[in-house]
Structure 1
Amino acid sequence: MSDNIIQLNEQVIKTELKDLVKQSVEETLNSLLDQEAEELTHAEKYERTNARKGYRSGHYTRNLQTTSGNISLKVPKLKGIPFETAIIERYRRRESSVEEALIEMYLAGVSVRRVEDITEALWGSKVSPGTISNLNKKAYGNIEAWRN
């Protein structure tokens, strides 16, 4: 009888799954941005039609912090028409669930310095104390508006 024992390295599996999810999120968001550009221009890349309203002019990269990690987006640049995506708000650098998690940690009594360490462990990048303070000011403003 064979005594083949399969051993799994749990840390390697978690890392691989996290990378797979991050890559999948990045590819999905980039393809959605391309689809939006096609709908706005009424043409695919390099397609010449009479219905075309604008032209592509490359793309620029933009980082977005998500619960899956920091991803790089390729936002299309268009000539002749403005490109404002419905997927990501303008100037937004973090997914809203990340901001909500930061606010919840602070309101639960976690110190600002500890929040920095937690964000680095979870998402791979630190959030500055100033950012956390600004988010909390927004939250307190909303709480006061609700109370009044």
Structure 2
Amino acid sequence: MAQVNLTLDFEKLKDEVVNSGLNDVVKSSLVLILNQYMEKERDEHIQASSHERTSDRKDYRNGYYERELLMPSGNIRLDVPRTRSGEFSTEVFEKYKRQDKALLISMLEMVVNGVSTRKVSNITEELCGKSVSKSFVSDLTKQLDPIVNEWATRPLNVMYFNYVFVDAMYIKVREQNKVVSKAVYIAVGVNENNRREIIGLK
């Protein structure tokens, strides 16, 4: 991987800070830093800086296109450099792609822990500035169905449990346009390694 040396325009950064709110300061700073980082990446790829004449040049600049990137502070819009050949590709989006994965995993965890799809949508927008529809959250949670089904239908006759406990917890569910209290029976076993695990529920 090429080593990119980055020189920031601190005057421009200072102007962004002075003229922004706190959250905007973070976003503006990230935009400035990442835009300059990508610019340096393109210089390294081309092997020539802007307006430099050199026999080592591999490609030519070809403007920019806009692309959004989800960061912990919210969505930011970046100017992604292009080259004439189209061979240049920045590492910035690949590097931060895990932010999107982390967000999706967090949303799934919220649903598993009983947070409604409406609240998940509101929380996501409040924390990330990214609007997520309730239907998107519902579609996302469907990814859990195969995992849950595999667990629910796994064979139990291949395991040995020293102890089995059965207990019930009561949850509120919507039934025929009414919210009622229902018992969920949970079987917990202590396996051969003396570790507890949920055997099943109904």
- Residue 81 of structure 1 and its aligned partner are, at CA, apart by 4.7
- Residue 131 of structure 1 and its aligned partner are, at CA, apart by 3.5
- In structure 2, C-alpha distance between the alignment counterparts of 1:100 and 1:83, rounded to whole Å: 31
- Residue 133 of structure 1 and its aligned partner are, at CA, apart by 4.1
The TM-score with structure 1 as length reference comes to 0.71
- In structure 2, C-alpha distance between the alignment counterparts of 1:39 and 1:135, rounded to whole Å: 39
The answer to whether the Cα contact below 8 Å between 2:111 and 2:120 also exists between their aligned partners in 1 is yes
Poorly superposed stretches of 4+, deviation over 3 Å: 94-97, 133-141
Q: What fraction of aligned residue pairs are identical, expressed as a percent?
A: 38
Task: Tell me the residue number matched to 1:127.
Answer: 132
- In structure 2, C-alpha distance between the alignment counterparts of 1:139 and 1:87, rounded to whole Å: 30
Of 39, 64, 77, the match for 2:44:
39
The TM-score with structure 2 as length reference comes to 0.54
The RMSD of aligned alpha carbons is 2.8
Bigger proportion of residues as helix: 1
- Residue 124 of structure 1 and its aligned partner are, at CA, apart by 2.3
The number of residues matched between the two structures is 129
- In structure 1, C-alpha distance between the alignment counterparts of 2:66 and 2:88, rounded to whole Å: 14
2:48 is paired with a residue of what secondary structure? coil
- In structure 2, C-alpha distance between the alignment counterparts of 1:131 and 1:96, rounded to whole Å: 15
- Residue 85 of structure 1 and its aligned partner are, at CA, apart by 2.0
Instruction: Give the gaps of 5 or more residues in structure 2.
Output: 1-19, 155-202
Counterpart code for 2:120: V
- Residue 53 of structure 1 and its aligned partner are, at CA, apart by 0.4
- Residue 132 of structure 1 and its aligned partner are, at CA, apart by 2.8
110-119 or 122-131, which moves further after superposition? Answer: 122-131
Bigger proportion of residues as strand: 2
Q: Given the alignment of the two structures, is residue 82 of structure 1 paired with residue 87 of structure 2, yes or no? A: yes
Instruction: Give the gaps of 5 or more residues in structure 1.
Output: 1-14
- In structure 1, C-alpha distance between the alignment counterparts of 2:144 and 2:53, rounded to whole Å: 49
Q: Compare CA radii of gyration and give the structure with the larger one.
A: 2
Ranked by relative contact order (alpha carbons within 8 Å, sequence separation 6 or more), the top structure is: 1
- In structure 2, C-alpha distance between the alignment counterparts of 1:119 and 1:80, rounded to whole Å: 38
